[in-house]
Amino acid sequence: MTETAAQPAYASTNPATGEVAATFDFATDAAIGEALAAGHGAFLDWRTLTVQERAALAKRIGGLFAERCDELARIAVEEMGKPLGEAVEEVEFCQAIFDYYAEHGPDLAADQPITSFSGDQAVVEKRPIGLLLGVMPWNFPYYQVARFAAPNMVLGNTMLLKHAESVPRCAEAIQRLFDDAGVPAGVYQNVFATFGQVEQIIADPRVQGVSLTGSERAGSRIAALAGQHLKKCVLELGGSDPYVVLDADDVAAAATQAWETRIYNTGQACNSNKRMIVMDDVYEPFVARLTELAGGLNPGDYSPLSSRTALDRLKEVVDDAVAQGATLHAGGVVGDGPGAYYSPAVLTGVTPQMRAYREELFGPVAVVYKVSSDEEALELANDTDYGLGGAVFSSDVDRATKVAARLDVGMANVNTPAGEGAEIPFGGVKRSGFGRELGPLGMDEFVNKRMFYVKSS
């Protein structure tokens, strides 16, 4: 993650118009040094509070997410193009996450007694480890931060947060929310850091871990730095999730659900159903329904991608597939003007030599494959370097369950696109990263599971 002149500035650019609303200076090295000192100093006091006291502050943060829902949602719409209704849902999910750890955090952080054969007293304590760095993406600018920050603040860690360069106003809004909730200074600090400063932060001995949600390339670099400096890291690096349809009583309804899942957040979700794997006897009507849905959209019916850069990357991969013989049934049209509009598309006939077969399509493109058996569906589903999530659908629950049980993923789902909730762990395997966030596992990453043993007399 070596700093170069190519790093984009922290700028709030409306992807619907291309207009820059605000720019923000990079942090100075002195400011980063002050943030490190403040974060470490805050940890020494923050960890002495009871977990119940920290949980009460988490509850207050959840309440502020609710109070400021409309304001926060509007910023996300203006800054990364998120549809308004989905932006509201994201903020509401943040409240649910903070409420979950406020309510359940004390129990999740409780000591775990060990039955000692010697009769002595032994427990495993869950203790905070110190100052952490979070490197967060733009696609869910609030939710991604919430799932990192909520469990760690309740546990007793302190945090520096380096957000994506394209959502600085979202980043500032989160900082204000923590401050207004009464969280002590230094516990949570937003820093507009450069790539070079991220390296310095990870190398600093006061920092004990780093969590990144982002690209595979960034994750590889962060993991290398964390390993070099012997720091714990958690990585969520995207995916190419299989969405397997073995059969359907109502094919049109099944295709509609698949389509709505795919275009959620304008297709910019790590665990989106990027590969639809459909049994041959329902394949044709399934594709026909997707094509109908995509073809019925007008420019005002869909939101822009996060940026023109994101649009260009997506278009390049789709164009490569079409040039090599794939069929674009509908969509794939770049809008007029400076906005980042790309009409939602349906693509079939993708083969292994095409980039679309291996690369993550981070945008509203439904790629559909035809298979003729459960084994073929499973083989295709697992033929990917990624392993975030996957879903299998069938009117026969046992059949779907047997296939889903063999998916090489971190999150396997039966007859639902994804199991979601503050209590449901999130994370993947293979090149989708490692570690888990949310649920009870969310408090088990950046924690000192200290064994405490007392010899009986």
For 230-272, the DSSP string reads: T-EEEEE-----EEEE---SSHHHHHHHHHHHHTGGGG--TTS
**CB of 431 within 8 A of CB of 386?**
yes
pLDDT digits (tens, 9 = 90+) for 171-218: 999 999 999 999 999 999 999 999 999 999 999 999 999 999 999 999
Q: Which of 268, 139, 178, 232 is closest to 436 using CA atoms? A: 232
pLDDT digits (tens, 9 = 90+) for 233-253: 999 998 999 999 999 999 999
pLDDT score for 1: 45
Q: Average pLDDT of 423-442? A: 97
pLDDT score for 2: 41
Distances (CA, A) of 147 to 96, 215, 241, 396: 10, 18, 21, 34
Told to judge if 375 belongs to the known catalytic residues of this protein, a careful annotator would answer: no
Paired tokens of 385: 């370097």
**Which residues fall within 8 angstroms of residue 290, CB to CB, at 6 or more apart?**
255, 258, 259, 329, 330, 346, 366, 368
Instruction: Return the biggest CA–CA distance within the chain.
Output: 81
Cα angle 364, 236, 220 (rounded to 5 degrees) comes to 105
Paired tokens of 278: 């459909």
What is the rounded distance in angstroms from the CA atom of residue 61 to the CA atom of residue 150?
Answer: 9
Paired tokens of 405: 């049980």
**CB of 158 within 8 A of CB of 130?**
yes
**CB of 341 within 8 A of CB of 304?**
yes
Q: Which domains does the chain have, with CATH numbers?
A: 11-237+432-454 (3.40.605.10), 241-414 (3.40.309.10)
Distances (CA, A) of 136 to 13, 130, 314, 370: 18, 19, 21, 36
pLDDT of 4 higher than 50 = no
Buried b (16+ CB within 10 A) or exposed e, 446-455: bbeeeeeeee
Q: For residue 162, what is the enclosing H or E element?
A: strand 158-162
Q: Which of 85, 81, 17, 12 is closest to 303 using CA atoms? A: 81
**CB of 363 within 8 A of CB of 331?**
no
**Which residues fall within 8 angstroms of residue 50, CB to CB, at 6 or more apart?**
none
pLDDT of 391 higher than 70 = yes
List the end-to-end C-alpha distance of the chain, in Å, as a whole number. 55
Question: pLDDT band at 3, cuts 50/70/90?
Answer: very low
pLDDT of 6 higher than 90 = no
Q: Which of 94, 170, 233, 270 is catalytic?
A: 270
Q: Which of 78, 79, 172, 236 is catalytic?
A: 236
pLDDT digits (tens, 9 = 90+) for 21-67: 999 999 999 999 999 999 999 999 999 999 999 999 999 999 999 99
What is the rounded distance in angstroms from the CA atom of residue 42 to the CA atom of residue 58?
Answer: 16
Provide the strand spans (E) within 146-206: 158-162, 188-190
Q: What phi, psi does 453 have (nearest 5°)?
A: -125, 130
Q: Tell me the pLDDT of the chain averaged across its residues.
A: 96
pLDDT of 7 higher than 80 = no
Residue ranges of the alpha helices (H) in 15-83? 29-46, 51-67, 69-80
Can you state the angle between helices 51-67 and 143-155, rounded to 10 degrees? 160
What is the rounded distance in angstroms from the CA atom of residue 201 to the CA atom of residue 222?
Answer: 11
Told to judge if 270 belongs to the known catalytic residues of this protein, a careful annotator would answer: yes
Residue ranges of the alpha helices (H) in 68-157? 69-80, 84-108, 143-155
Proportion of the chain above pLDDT 70, given as a percent: 99
What is the rounded distance in angstroms from the CA atom of residue 398 to the CA atom of residue 62?
Answer: 39
pLDDT digits (tens, 9 = 90+) for 279-324: 999 999 999 999 999 999 998 899 999 999 999 999 999 999 999 9
